[in-house]
Amino acid sequence: MSLRTASAVTPLGPGRWSGAIAPGWDIVGAANGGYLLAIAARAAAAVAGRPDPVTVTAHYLAPGSPGPVTVETEVVKSGKRFTTVSAALIGSDRPLLRMLGSFGDLEESAGVERLEAGPPSLPAVEDCLPIEPTDTFPPPFMGRVELRLPPERAAAWGDVGGAPRVEGWFRLRDEEPIDPLALLVAVDAFPPTIFFTDLPVAWVPTLELTAHVRARPAPGWLRCAFTTRFITGGFLEEDGEVWDSAGRLVAQSRQLALVPRS
Amino acid sequence: MSLRTASAVTPLGPGRWSGAIAPGWDIVGAANGGYLLAIAARAAAAVAGRPDPVTVTAHYLAPGSPGPVTVETEVVKSGKRFTTVSAALIGSDRPLLRMLGSFGDLEESAGVERLEAGPPSLPAVEDCLPIEPTDTFPPPFMGRVELRLPPERAAAWGDVGGAPRVEGWFRLRDEEPIDPLALLVAVDAFPPTIFFTDLPVAWVPTLELTAHVRARPAPGWLRCAFTTRFITGGFLEEDGEVWDSAGRLVAQSRQLALVPRS
């Protein structure tokens, strides 16, 4: 099933949309956070009448399981360039996430350009290792997207103590085109950075995720990099960058995750 | 007037609070974004019954002018560790910002610790230069907080082409204690990073600001650093770090600002 189908929403009434959490988009039973956000943001973009999630923030309230969901949207402000929308994604018995986002049209964007860094340096896609789900590991979600890790990163996964950092290639299965809403999946698709360290942490639930979409991606594989600098106070941040095949920064992300007491 | 007074809110009814934008907290006529967020977050923390803005996001809708404001709050979820609150800050005739935040109690926080970086290296406070408002420049807001810039940074302001980066010391006037809500002011108090470059940009209005508060600050000056890496697509991000006098990371921030077409 394509992401487009798995995150589709249909109008249910004024500001209300119905959708479904599709099976197989989970990490040990809980639907991937970027995927849940994509469902909510798809409804919000439709309500906004503007396609691009320029900046969206999700606060995660409860794990999502396969089955029907409702999205309740509220237009906070419709301005000249952006429409700000609040959206609640509600599962069968409880709210799953709350989103606040400003949507725009990135075709209209322009201005001075200056980049202090470029895309992550990665081996060619064919020299990287796919993460393919088996019956037990990694999680089913990894079968919904295509991730390729540089061999040295793949080897570090759950193995040796390195920096809390991961980078690699991303695309959707069957070369499904990646629209700006699909970037919300890309920014939450990689294994947590902390899994590449020797820290005794098995699970880092996301409290909040913010993504900025800078441009609509060109077709092809995306280069992604995720870094954590500060594991402290019971939390860690994970900063993401996504670059398209044309070498443009298309998205930036930061999430705040809980580091369970060890 | 202290920040505590300038950001105070009083109950007006179920979930509704009244407050005021105090005079002098503006940048060329528009109230400082961190200050506006502090007003909304103070009401939200009160509603949550939890003092610490663990992660809060503001979307800015319109500039704020001195005068009465109302905060309308909605408890999205009250959980075991966090309460998620949505809040609207409304001026005399229009909404000024929408906030989504999760509040907690940082005294309860603990877990593994690993920092990949430390506080910014700064000359001693007494060797740094204060930013003091005059009749014309810098803006009145700079008189509400105390900022000290390293001499080489102060010299770069609006002068020569350097990296989009600024760091320095921050405290409130009259040594007012800095509580976690005051950190929301600290993360938006410094001149924009782009002012330290030769890029022809005079104004970078904030579209969205997210702050993560990791710990309650120890008394004393805060060390702050703000960096921009990507000016592209008509936007720039500004990443902030705030460290307390005990050398702990107390807040992280990222804002997305518009880069007007040149």
Q: In this model, does residue A160 exceed pLDDT 70?
A: no
- Domain A3-106+123-258: CATH superfamily is Acyl-CoA thioesterase, double hotdog domain (2.40.160.210)
Check if A102 contacts B (Cβ < 8 Å). Answer: yes
* Cβ <8 Å between A98 and B82: no
Which of the two residues, A176 and A112, has the higher pLDDT score? A176
The DSSP line for A87-106 is: EEEE-SSSEEEEEEEEEE-G
Closest CA relative to residue B74, chosen from B82, B83, B64, B85: B85
Cβ atoms < 10 Å from Cβ of B74? 15
Structure tokens at B243: 């460290």
Closest CA relative to residue A58, chosen from A43, A46, A77, A48: A43
CA distance B240 to B253: 5
Residue B217 is predicted with a pLDDT of 96
Confidence label for A186 from pLDDT (cuts 50, 70 and 90): very high
pLDDT tens, residue by residue, B135-194: 666 678 888 899 999 998 877 776 656 789 999 999 999 999 999 999 999 999 999 999
CA distance B39 to B33: 10
pLDDT tens, residue by residue, B86-127: 999 999 989 999 999 999 999 866 778 899 999 999 999 999
Tell me the residue ranges of DSSP E strands in B4-130.
10-13, 16-21, 26-27, 30-31, 52-60, 67-78, 83-90, 95-104, 114-115, 129-130
CATH architecture of the domain B3-105+123-258 equals Beta Barrel (2.40)
Which single residue is written with the structure tokens 């976690």? Answer: B180
CA distance A75 to A49: 11
Cis peptide before A260 (omega within 30 of 0): no
Residue A262 is predicted with a pLDDT of 57
* Domains in chain B: boundaries: 3-105+123-258
* Cβ <8 Å between A231 and B115: yes
Closest CA relative to residue A240, chosen from A165, A160, A172, A146: A165
The amino acid occupying position B232 is T
Residues 115-134 of A with CB under 8 A from B: 115-117
Residues of B in contact with A99 (CB under 8 A): 100
* Cβ <8 Å between B210 and A116: no
* Cβ <8 Å between B233 and A215: yes
pLDDT tens, residue by residue, A71-104: 999 999 999 999 999 999 999 989 999 999 999 9
Residue B162 is predicted with a pLDDT of 79
Closest CA relative to residue A98, chosen from A153, A51, A140, A58: A58
Inter-chain CB pairs, A–B, below 8 Å: 184
